[in-house]
Chain A
Amino acid sequence: MLWIWWQLIIRYAWTYRLRSAVQVLAITVGVALGYAVSLINTAALAEFNAALREINGEADAVIEGSRAGFDEQLYARVASDPGVQLASPVLATDVLVAGSADEYPPRLTVLGIDVLRAAPLSPTLMGDASLSGEREASRFAIFGDGILLSPSALERFKLQVGDSLTVQAGSGTVELKVRGTLPGVRPGSLLGVMDLGFAQWRLGALGRLTRIDLRLADGVSLETLRARLALPPGVNLAGPDATGARLANLSRAYRVNLNVLALVALFTGGFLVFSLQAQATLARRAQFAWLRAAGLERGQLKRLLIAEALAIGAVGSLCGLFAGAAIAQAALTALGGDLGGGYFNVTRPALGFPLLTAAGFAVLGVLAAVAGSYLPAHEAAHTPPAAALHAGGEEDVLRPLGRIWPGLVLLGVAAVLLSLPPVSGVPVPAYLAIAAILIGAIALQPRIARLLSRPLADWLQHARVGTRAPTLLLAANRMVQAPGAAAIAMAGIVASFGLMVAMGTMVSSFRGTLDGWLVQVLPADLYARVGLSMTDAWLSPADMQRIRTHPGVLRVEFSRATPLQLAADRAAVVVVARTIDATDPGAALPLVGRPLAWQPDQPPPVWVSEAMVDLYGARVGGILHLPLAGGLHPFIVLGVWRDYARQFGSVAMRAEDYQRITGDSTRTDAAIWLRPGVRAADVSRDLLQTLDSREVIELRAPAEIRALSLRIFDRSFAVTYVLEAAAILIGMIGVAATFSSQAMARSREFGMLRHIGVTRGQILRVLALEGALATLNAIVVGLLAGLVIALVLIRVVNPQSFHWSMQLIVPLELIAGLIAALLVCATGTAAIAGRRATGSSPLRAVHEDW
């Protein structure tokens, strides 16, 4: 068997090395993309987790509130609990570094720690001041003012030990002396460490902690401790993995979507293997028949062909793993760990090469190849050798492809899958449905091809065009007579074109909806914001007054955004306190559906984003309890609004309610309406000169914010475009290879045509027209499938993974461009393949090669 395998398969592969190379390449690209994306995700996540361990250290458990933190008196209670062996209080804040010229200024995470208590739990946070030139005698310097920075932070902010660092904290800026480095911190982490006492003071967080790291006494469980401590609302006691789990949850949908996109390439690769393998099997059917006649058992033949696929898959996978590692390395260097998605505040994750993942993708690659080869192998093994020993009847073998029920069954399965809920936040059934829709569409393709081309052929038969253009007649007739062959050639194209249409439509819908939303939520002339959403900074009352009284300003609406931790393993939601008229919330918020009216006897009103509905079960008319200012406060949900800015949920409430409950009168954002004739740029320039927070305030016109948002959007979708392009490239290679091999297989037919007086040019035209017809058919099927899949993505996948809805916007130009490109490519490929097939003398048609 090994001899036969070697002689028949490897020799064959070598003889037809171009075809083999294309098959291997199809698997290679699929595996490479999948593996690369997975590696990058793993690296980024591992990096984040390592950074987290660095910050959280070796704590057994963590008490954590939202970023706003909790009262420090809790620490006294926790630290003196007999179940707690060691408690290390932490104030973690993200600050903006003033004067960094970047468009996206990096956040610096500053940890205020009690070094004496943190030392056993977080050894990596211990600093080194040996670089500092002026060594001070005081042993207590460690408890003094100043900051220790990680090597990457020093590098990023171009600082040296002894320099001053200006950061935004609270409503102003603070100058911190850089006292030393944190040699134990991983490269890439932007981290600073301060003494807790000074961090509280300098960063405007007196009386506040955000975290207490714990080492538990022996035999104390989290549950008992949790019960005994009775933590205030919004403060959670969790195991050390909770934060990591939260980040994993936070980015899981994004990562899964990327992985699925990467697997699309592999999926398309599988179809390509199918196309070529079916073709190769057809070409060899006489040989297989002879082998069967000579005594090769049916099962042996099938195993032989599966082994061939295994070889293709194995070689392809192996190449793919290497290519994937290289791609991952290059992408990490160029784009960073989140591939532009903006989920991880990590600069340079180190790549690891986990064997299990590699093995997993190798197996996937081999499976794709085997799945692609299974049907042809099965058919070859079950072909009656007696018939195959004589020429012709190839389309008979493909007859099963014309069956209508497998496609319909698959579409039915897809419909059922679409009604299923997501699996732990990931729309697995929807993805499976997409696969089923694609395969179903491909299965129905021969039938559709026949349906579409028969009227054309009939018409040509009788119309004068038919006699004038015999080549078109020949091509149309072949589509009617041999739709299976075309279907095989086009499987990869239907798959990649369909997915491209789907993704393009989804992205265009998203972008268009986002654009419309931005216009709706940015009605003012100028927007001011202090700090990015995740930092702890606000506008001082003096600054608010300065903005309000600027002569060019007609009206200002201030708002406050505060993160709120509702669940330990989920990302924080954002409470937005702003001017909202309860009788007309639609004026301030882009509402989805009709809001309820507020009755004064009800609890204070809130309007929640769509994610709140999906993630926390908030519903209109229901009561939502929010942990604010150390207490749990009821609110009535009056409406749902669309918030593309905050994927993990946001709650809008009236500024006066927020202030009454929390006593917090600080504001982070301002929407500024200008007097007629006043230019935003002038006001912006004035404010940048007078405001206390001028170092860190962002002042932007709505157009600028829109442009920036869309640029961020495009950046985060750039990778998806690359992956789609890869899929369609594979599809095109597949078309070229399949057409080419089909044309070669038909050289006998062409020889006959030449004998009866058809010119070589005419044969090429027939081939080109066949290519065009088949491609048109694939385009029709792919377009239909793609639009259906786009609807699935928009209506099911996106709401399930990102919790936002959008309108369907079909990118007509993109699709038209794709169709044109496909037609040109496929027609050209078919003609070029034909040139090679008809290049030799008609008499040499005995040798059926390509």
Chain B
Amino acid sequence: MADSALDVSQLSRRFDQRQILDHLDLCVAPGELVAIVGESGSGKSTLLNLIAGLDTPDAGKILISGQDLAVLDDDARTRLRRARLGFVFQSFHILPHLRVGQNIELPLVLLGVAAGERQQRVAELLAAVGLADRAASLPRELSGGELQRVAVARALVHRPVLVLADEPTGNLDAETAAMVMRLLVTQIRERGAAGVLVTHSAAAAALADRALLLSQGRLHPQNLAVG
């Protein structure tokens, strides 16, 4: 049987005196898109940081494509992120002095992909996110929605197994948010990646295969009305 894209079991994390995550379990199959909703401070970002290997759990296990994060050192975790994960953040984190195309190209560079193939994939993704004509633009010339589309392209350009998106539309107006979210979901699906989507937008959550509510440090299945 193929490994899950993500397999989190019995994950716990405390900050100061507060138990943020408490024996949390989560399994995401390859190609599956999971939305996680919850109130502010419920631990959504903490969960994503732990999955990304940017933070270490107090207890529990995280497997990405069957690889246990706990047995990896910082550099190995970094290499794992580089190869298998893609990120989309609320505040975009587009490098301001790189051109749009170069921002998207960056993960491929880190992976040591040859220049010719890099150009090809960047062009493909730029087209996919509808920014084919903005490759040479600087980030400051772009609107928020466009910046986040760049971030989506950048998160997918290296064909990650799992895409982590943290409030990807939080900084956008409703109309743009819906458009970006549709684009993100479509692109993740089209490319066969799994996705964990942290959001507090019900509309966004509705686009996922299933939605989970993070509450009291655990995930609870959530039935969302499609609409």
Contact = CB atoms under 8 A, between A and B. Distances in A.
B107 A298 contact: no
Contacts of B109: 3-4, 7
Contact of B81 (A295, A299, A384): A295
Contact of B78 (A14, A298, A384): A298
Nearest to B144: A846
Contact of A389 (B93, B95, B107): B93
Given A290-B89, A293-B52, A294-B110, A299 B95 contact: no
Interface in B98-114: 98, 102, 106-107, 109-111
B23 interface: no
Contacts of B78: 292, 295-298
B74 interface: yes
B81 A294 contact: yes
B97 A12 contact: yes
Nearest to B75: A297
B105 to A, nearest CB: 8
Nearest to A849: B96
Contact of A293 (B87, B111, B140): B87
A848 B140 CA distance: 11
B75 A847 contact: no
Contacts of B89: 290, 389
A467 interface: no
Contacts of B98: 7-8, 11
Nearest to B164: A293
A385 B85 CA distance: 15
A326 B98 CA distance: 38
A384 B87 contact: no
Contacts of A14: 97
B54 interface: yes
Contacts of A849: 96
B79 A295 contact: yes
Contacts, number: 75
A367 B81 CA distance: 34
A290 B85 CA distance: 12
Interface in A251-301: 286-287, 289-299
A549 interface: no
A389 B55 CA distance: 12
A15 interface: yes
Contacts of A291: 106
A4 B54 contact: no
A11 B97 contact: yes
Interface in A798-846: none
A849 B110 CA distance: 26
Contact of A384 (B55, B75, B97): B55
B27 interface: no
A289 B95 CA distance: 11
Nearest to B154: A294
B82 A384 contact: no
Interface string A344-365: 0000000000000000000000
Interface string A203-240: 00000000000000000000000000000000000000
A289 B166 CA distance: 15
B54 A386 contact: yes
Interface in B80-136: 81-83, 85, 87, 89, 91, 93, 95-98, 102, 106-107, 109-111
Contacts of B106: 4, 7, 291, 294
A289 B91 CA distance: 13
Nearest to B108: A3
B215 interface: no
A848 to B, nearest CB: 8
B49 interface: yes
Contacts of A287: 93, 95-96
A307 to B, nearest CB: 15
B199 to A, nearest CB: 17
A291 B45 CA distance: 18
B110 A296 contact: yes
A817 B109 CA distance: 55
A289 B81 CA distance: 13
A298 B77 CA distance: 11
Interface string A1-36: 001100110011011000000000000000000000
Contacts of A292: 54, 78
A299 B73 CA distance: 13
Given A294-B110, A384-B55, A299 B97 contact: no
Nearest to B93: A290
Interface string A368-391: 000000000000000011100111
Given A4-B106, A8-B95, A847-B140, A294 B54 contact: no
Nearest to A284: B95
A251 B45 CA distance: 67
Contacts of B110: 4, 294-296
A292 B97 CA distance: 17
A444 B91 CA distance: 37
A824 to B, nearest CB: 34
Nearest to B84: A295
B102 A294 contact: no
B111 to A, nearest CB: 8
A385 B45 CA distance: 13
A7 B45 CA distance: 30
Contacts of A290: 87, 89, 93, 95
A299 B93 contact: no
Contacts of B95: 8, 287, 290
A849 B89 CA distance: 21
Interface string A322-333: 000000000000
B55 A7 contact: no
B14 to A, nearest CB: 15
Contacts of B55: 384, 386
Contacts of B82: 294-296
Nearest to A14: B97
B98 to A, nearest CB: 6
B224 to A, nearest CB: 28
Nearest to A1: B109
Which residue, of A7, A11, A292, has the highest number of chain B Cβ atoms within 10 A?
A: A7
Contacts of A391: 91
B97 to A, nearest CB: 4
B145 to A, nearest CB: 14
Nearest to B112: A1
Nearest to A3: B109
A292 B98 CA distance: 17
A475 to B, nearest CB: 29
Given A3-B109, A298-B74, A298-B75, A293 B97 contact: no
Which residue, of A14, A15, A386, has the highest number of chain B Cβ atoms within 10 A?
A: A386
A293 B81 contact: yes
B117 to A, nearest CB: 14
A37 to B, nearest CB: 38
B107 A295 contact: yes
A362 B131 CA distance: 46
Nearest to B138: A15
Contacts of B107: 294-295
B151 to A, nearest CB: 10
Nearest to B52: A293
A293 B49 CA distance: 9
B150 to A, nearest CB: 13
B2 to A, nearest CB: 24
A294 to B, nearest CB: 6
Nearest to B81: A295
A156 B102 CA distance: 67
Given A290-B93, A386-B49, A389-B54, 9 more contacts: A3-B109, A4-B109, A7-B102, A7-B109, A290-B89, A296-B82, A297-B78, A298-B74, A848-B96
Closest 5 interchain pairs by CB?
A: A295-B82, A386-B54, A290-B93, A15-B97, A386-B49
21 contacts: A7-B102, A8-B98, A289-B93, A290-B87, A290-B89, A291-B106, A294-B106, A295-B78, A295-B81, A295-B83, A295-B110, A295-B111, A296-B78, A296-B82, A297-B75, A298-B74, A384-B55, A385-B54, A389-B89, A389-B93, A391-B91
